[in-house]
Amino acid sequence: MLESIVFSVLNGLLYGMLLFMLASGLTLIFGMMGVLNFAHASFYMLGAYCAYTISSYTNFWVALILAPLFVGFLGALTERFGLRNVHKHGHVAELLLTFGLVYVIDELVVLIWGQIPVNYAIPPSLDFTLFTLFGTSFPAYRAFILFVAVAMFVAIYLLLVRTRVGMIIRAALSHPEMVGALGHDVPRIFTLVFAFGTGLAGLAGVMAGNYYITEPGMAFSMGPIVFVVVVFGGLGSLGGALAASLIIGLVTTFAVSLNYSVADLLAAVGLGLDGENIAGGLAHIDLSRIGQMLPYLMMVLILIFRPRGLMGARES
Amino acid sequence: MKHYKGLVRRAVAAVGVAAALAVPTLGSAADDTIKIGYIDPLSGPFANVGDAGLKHFKYLAERINADGGILGKDVEIIGYDNKSSAQESLQILREAADEGVQYITQGNGSHVGGALVDGVEKHNRRNPDNRMVFLNYAAVDPALTGEKCSFWHFRFDANSAMKLQAITDYMAEQDDIKKVFLINMDYSHGQAISRIAKEMLKEKRPDIEIVGDVLHPVGKVKDFSPYISQIQSSGADTVISGNWGNDLSLLVKAGAQGGLDVDWYTYYAGGLGTPTALGKAGAEHVKMLTEWQENLVEEYEAPELREILEEFEQRYEGIEFYYLRIKTQMDMLQQAMEKAGSTDPLAVARALEGMTMETPFGTVTMREQDHQLLQPLFISTFSEDYPKYDSEGSGLGWVMNAKLDAASTAVDSVCEMKRPSS
């Protein structure tokens, strides 16, 4: 039991931190610019594919630096030549643009790299067992993912709260005219924020692409859950995104490892249920089978009872 | 506001152009082609699998056409994207019927296969002049040739019960297997494996303990490490999984990362990107049961298959020839049409019933009772020490461990086929 709990916590933390790497960029962009970037997971996928291509010519460490920069650059182009132009037509136009971008990037990835997964491997220097606990080994790469995610959170936090740049960014969010009147180039700040956010998605792709699988469906499979994290944590809140990522990571992991059904719990307190009637049948479904559904359920519940999310600043 | 109208107008124009480009010119295909509608996911998490299947069909159809076609007609493969959805597939079925498609084929997902069996049955009852035949190349739920069996459905892949029969026959001889863990995708296919594997193991090796039996959501799990922890703590030495596509790759990969030391008995580790994703993680530990793997041409005299596998790989970079059963299906369809002297679905279906064909690996038979193909199956291991062909350039290839004759893979069926009188 103890080993199962320890590993569930470790696995949950890791999954949560990976989610956070992805969600932080999305929530930043939304918080700063009010743009809900549907294509965020697509930039994540681009990060993984770019890292694969770059690392096949050089090595993983070069890719770790260059791929996020490149994805961020693509993000900057998107903002400068796409979003900025439709900005005057309101949020719906921006939303539609990023929505269309999802399909464009999906098709481009298939055109360039093909439908079949690419062989983006964990670098040999990180491909070893860090420690073994209860007979299960903990790979060094996982520790590296955790390390990068934590470093990322700290860096973003310090950047936003402790630096002059962060101050201007936050000011541009709430009082763009005032910041513009003070001589700052607000549109350029927006471009930078968007580039930074998509760059973070790219970084998440670099880290997760080889840990999972780099294939054209990866954006599709990651997209919805990232939105859940951001909504659950509160749109625009970095701390909320961190908390929501960890909660969702832990909940899905524990749901699998506990593997009990409602019926088991009822039986434990002395209430037997047979699987014959519908209620009994539902109660007999193992938690692990519905574990992946729990985050969505949590999102629905939080939207009903606390629409601004865990730590969101605004009501709508 | 003016700008906005302009934007809308431009958007509408763009959509119009896109739609015009996307809709295939109706009526361009001549009536003297034999149309086969391929209904499988071409987008979404299993797009890679569906795309590879389509390429197999197109390639094999080209080979037939280059040889003069069937009864002088060319074979045309039309790909439809069903997005892995049964609902979508039924819509496509109607669409295909309107376009004059008489033969449909599908493989990915027995939930879709089951819907199509029903759909084709209904369609044929309502449109006796415009019937359809469903050629199933990979949906392996035993029910499709069991309680749900249909005269219009033919399955060219061994069904799940047959595969498990073969796997458990082989496992019964491996004395070092003591504890088995079952992990499968949560739909009819995975549920059938979980049920049948337990029955068969209990019968053949009562000493083997089933230490776990887990079903997980289809195509939704990104991180399999919690499942791996579960397998680890169960003390299993062997895992049976009918997972396919990324659900298999991610599972085995997570196992290797967690240092899980078990043998994997799988159905679908052999191709379509899975060997690439597995890499060294799968070496010596992943076994599969299939009707084909490339290195079989080293064991058996099969010049045509050698040519196909080499040509296919050259032509579609990154995809290897994986579905021998698609070739079997196309060859048998051709034979049946030639035997019937017609492409009429009823005549062809009658000709297919009970048909036998010689292949390099042995005789295959389309069993009359339930329209289930009986074919030789092979157990192979993913290894760094392989005879000739590696898998997807991974530096690892498949080594044959055992051959199971067509007859030994047969499992009784409860099918009571209702045949049309005319």
Domain ranges (residues) in chain B? 160-297+376-409
B105 close to B137: Cβ distance less than 8 angstroms? yes
Whole-angstrom distance, CA of residue A188 vs CA of residue B287? 56
Put simply, the answer to whether A114 touches B317 (Cβ < 8 Å) is yes
Residue A6 lies in domain: 2-305
**Nearest residue on chain A to B260, judged by CA atoms?**
A136
Residue A32: other Cβ atoms inside 10 A:
21
Put simply, the answer to whether A11 touches B225 (Cβ < 8 Å) is yes
| Own/partner pairs, B416-421, CB within 8 angstroms, 24+ separation | B416/B149, B417/B149, B417/B150, B417/B151, B417/B369, B417/B370, B417/B371, B418/B151, B419/B151, B420/B124, B420/B151, B420/B346
Residue A79 forms contact with B (CB below 8 Å): no
Confidence tier at B65 by pLDDT (50, 70, 90): very high
CB < 8 Å to B248, chain A: none
**Nearest residue on chain A to B281, judged by CA atoms?**
A121
Confidence tier at B25 by pLDDT (50, 70, 90): very low
For position A7, which CATH number holds?
A: 1.10.3470
Residue B213 forms contact with A (CB below 8 Å): no
Q: What is the pLDDT of residue B28?
A: 40
Nearest to A295 by CA among A23, A111, A10: A23
What are the φ and ψ backbone dihedral angles of B365, each rounded to 5 degrees? Answer: -130, 135
CB < 8 Å to B9, chain A: none
Q: Is residue A310 part of a domain?
A: no
Q: What is the pLDDT of residue B402?
A: 92
Alpha-carbon gap: A117 to the closest alpha carbon of chain B (Å): 6
| Own/partner pairs, B381-386, CB within 8 angstroms, 24+ separation | B381/B284, B381/B286, B381/B287, B382/B269, B382/B275, B382/B278, B382/B282, B382/B283, B382/B284, B382/B285, B382/B286, B382/B287, B382/B288, B383/B283, B383/B284, B384/B280, B384/B283, B384/B284, B386/B295
Can you name the residues that pair with B134 across neighbouring β-strands? B104, B153
Q: Which of residues 258-287 of A touch B (CB under 8 A)?
A: 259, 286
The dihedral region occupied by A41, where left means phi > 0, alpha psi between -120 and 50, and beta the remainder, is alpha
What are the φ and ψ backbone dihedral angles of B215, each rounded to 5 degrees? Answer: -115, 135
Put simply, the answer to whether A136 touches B272 (Cβ < 8 Å) is no
Confidence tier at B260 by pLDDT (50, 70, 90): confident
Q: What is the pLDDT of residue A265?
A: 60
Residue A121 forms contact with B (CB below 8 Å): yes
- Mean pLDDT lowest for which of B115-119, B144-148, B390-394? B390-394
Whole-angstrom distance, CA of residue A182 vs CA of residue B343? 79
Residue A297: other Cβ atoms inside 10 A:
12
Whole-angstrom distance, CA of residue A231 vs CA of residue A27? 9
Residues 6+ apart with CB under 8 A from A133: A3, A6, A7
Q: What is the pLDDT of residues B200-228, one digit of tens each?
A: 999 999 999 999 998 888 877 878 888 88
Whole-angstrom distance, CA of residue B381 vs CA of residue B358? 26
Q: Please state whether beta strands B238-241 and B362-366 pair in parallel, antiparallel, or not at all (unpaired).
A: unpaired
Q: Which of residues 203-232 of A touch B (CB under 8 A)?
A: 211-213, 215-217, 220-222, 225
Q: What is the pLDDT of residue B304?
A: 92
Q: What is the pLDDT of residue A261?
A: 59
Put simply, the answer to whether B230 touches A14 (Cβ < 8 Å) is no
Whole-angstrom distance, CA of residue B349 vs CA of residue B359? 21
Q: What is the pLDDT of residue B331?
A: 95
Q: What is the pLDDT of residue B26?
A: 42
- Taking CA atoms, B308 is separated from B272, B323, B327, in Å, by 16, 11, 10
Domain count, chain A: 1
Residue A56 forms contact with B (CB below 8 Å): no
Confidence tier at B23 by pLDDT (50, 70, 90): very low
Helix (H) or strand (E) holding A67: helix A60-78
**HSE on the CB side for B127, CA within 13 Å?**
15
Q: What is the pLDDT of residue A316?
A: 42
Put simply, the answer to whether B47 touches A115 (Cβ < 8 Å) is yes
Q: What is the pLDDT of residue B105?
A: 96
Alpha-carbon gap: B215 to the closest alpha carbon of chain A (Å): 6
**HSE on the CB side for B228, CA within 13 Å?**
27
CB < 8 Å to B7, chain A: 86, 89, 93
What's the mean pLDDT when you consider all of chain B?
88
Nearest to B267 by CA among B292, B238, B287, B252: B287
What's the mean pLDDT when you consider all of chain A?
84
Alpha-carbon gap: A163 to the closest alpha carbon of chain B (Å): 36
Pick A215's closest partner by Cβ from B48, B258, B317.
B48
Q: Which of residues 48-107 of B touch A (CB under 8 A)?
A: 48, 51-52
B322 close to B272: Cβ distance less than 8 angstroms? yes
Report the SS3 class of residue A236: coil
Confidence tier at B92 by pLDDT (50, 70, 90): very high
- pLDDT mean over B273-294: 84
Pick B226's closest partner by Cβ from A93, A135, A253.
A253
Residues 6+ apart with CB under 8 A from B170: B289, B379, B401, B402, B404
The dihedral region occupied by B372, where left means phi > 0, alpha psi between -120 and 50, and beta the remainder, is beta
Report the SS3 class of residue B117: helix
Q: Is residue A315 part of a domain?
A: no
Angle at the Cα of A22 from the Cα atoms of A20 and A25, rounded to 5 degrees:
100
Whole-angstrom distance, CA of residue A152 vs CA of residue A196? 12
Pick B44's closest partner by Cβ from A139, A220, A289.
A220
A29 close to A236: Cβ distance less than 8 angstroms? no
- Percent of chain B past pLDDT 90, that is, above it, reads 63
Residue B277 forms contact with A (CB below 8 Å): yes
Q: What is the pLDDT of residue A315?
A: 46
**DSSP state string for A142-205:** HHHHHHHHHHHHHHHHHHHHHSHHHHHHHHHHH-HHHHHHTT--HHHHHHHHHHHHHHHHHHHH
Put simply, the answer to whether B230 touches A256 (Cβ < 8 Å) is yes
Whole-angstrom distance, CA of residue A161 vs CA of residue B291? 62
- Give buried/exposed letters for B199-226 (b at 16+ CB in 10 A, else e): ebbeeebeebebbbbbbbbbbbbbbbbb
Alpha-carbon gap: A7 to the closest alpha carbon of chain B (Å): 7
Alpha-carbon gap: A166 to the closest alpha carbon of chain B (Å): 34
Strand order from edge to edge, sheet including B373-374: B356-359, B362-366, B373-374
- pLDDT mean over B326-344: 95
Q: What is the pLDDT of residues B411-422, one digit of tens each?
A: 999 999 999 886
Residue B328 forms contact with A (CB below 8 Å): no
DSSP letter (8 states) at residue B417: P
pLDDT at B195 exceeding the cut of 70: yes
CATH code, residues B160-297+376-409? 3.40.50.2300
What are the φ and ψ backbone dihedral angles of B244, each rounded to 5 degrees? Answer: -140, 165
Report the SS3 class of residue A256: helix
A195 close to A79: Cβ distance less than 8 angstroms? yes
Which of A102, A213, A225 has the highest number of chain B CBs within 10 A, making it the mutation to test binding with B? A213
Report the SS3 class of residue A42: helix
Report the SS3 class of residue A84: helix
Pick A8's closest partner by Cβ from B45, B226, B276.
B226
Whole-angstrom distance, CA of residue B212 vs CA of residue B181? 5
What are the φ and ψ backbone dihedral angles of B256, each rounded to 5 degrees? Answer: -65, -40
Give me the tens of pLDDT residue by residue for chain A, a chain 316 residues long. Answer: 677 788 788 888 988 999 999 999 998 888 877 788 899 999 999 999 999 999 989 889 999 999 999 999 999 999 999 888 888 888 888 889 999 999 999 889 988 988 778 888 888 888 888 887 776 778 888 889 999 999 999 998 898 888 888 888 778 767 778 888 888 888 888 888 899 999 999 999 999 998 888 888 888 888 888 989 988 988 878 888 999 999 999 988 888 777 665 556 666 665 555 545 555 555 556 666 677 788 888 889 988 988 888 887 654 4
Q: What is the pLDDT of residue A53?
A: 93
Whole-angstrom distance, CA of residue A249 vs CA of residue A261? 20
Q: Is residue A178 part of a domain?
A: yes
Q: What is the pLDDT of residue B270?
A: 82
